[in-house]
Homo-oligomer: A and B are copies of this chain.
Amino acid sequence: MSDSVAVWARPERGRRGPAPERSRDQIARAAIAIADADGLAAVSMREVAASLGTGPASLYRYVRAREDLLDLMADAVLAELELSAAPSTDWVDDLVALAGEVKAVHLRHPWLLDLPPQPSRLGPRAIDLIEHALGLMRHLPVQGRVKLEVIGVVNSLVAQFARHETAAEAPVSDRQAAQTAYLGKVAADGSHPLLAAALADTAPGDALDVFEPTIRHVAMGLTGIAHR
Contact = CB atoms under 8 A, between A and B. Distances in A.
A109 interface: no
A179 B144 contact: no
Interface stretch (A13-21, A24-32, A99-107, A217-225): A217-225
A152 B159 CA distance: 12
A202 B145 contact: yes
A33 to B, nearest CB: 21
Contacts of A178: 3-6, 9, 120
Point out which of A157, A160, A185 has the most chain B C-beta atoms below 10 A from its C-beta: A160
A198 B67 contact: no
Contacts of A6: 175, 178-179, 181-182
A201 B131 contact: no
Contacts of A121: 179
Contacts of A134: 194-195, 198
Interface string A194-220: 110111111000101010011011101
A53 interface: no
Interface in A40-68: 67
Interface string A152-175: 110011011001100100000111
A222 B218 contact: no
Specify how many copies of this chain sit in the oligomer: 2
Interface residues of A, number: 72
A130 interface: yes
Interface in A117-160: 117-122, 124, 127-128, 130-131, 134-135, 138, 143-149, 152-153, 156-157, 159-160
Interface of A: 3-6, 8-9, 67, 113-114, 116-122, 124, 127-128, 130-131, 134-135, 138, 143-149, 152-153, 156-157, 159-160, 163-164, 167, 173-179, 181-183, 185-186, 192, 194-195, 197-202, 206, 208, 210, 213-214, 216-218, 220-222
20 contacts: A4-B174, A5-B181, A8-B182, A113-B116, A116-B116, A120-B175, A120-B178, A121-B179, A122-B183, A127-B183, A127-B192, A127-B195, A134-B194, A138-B194, A145-B208, A152-B164, A153-B160, A213-B222, A214-B221, A217-B218
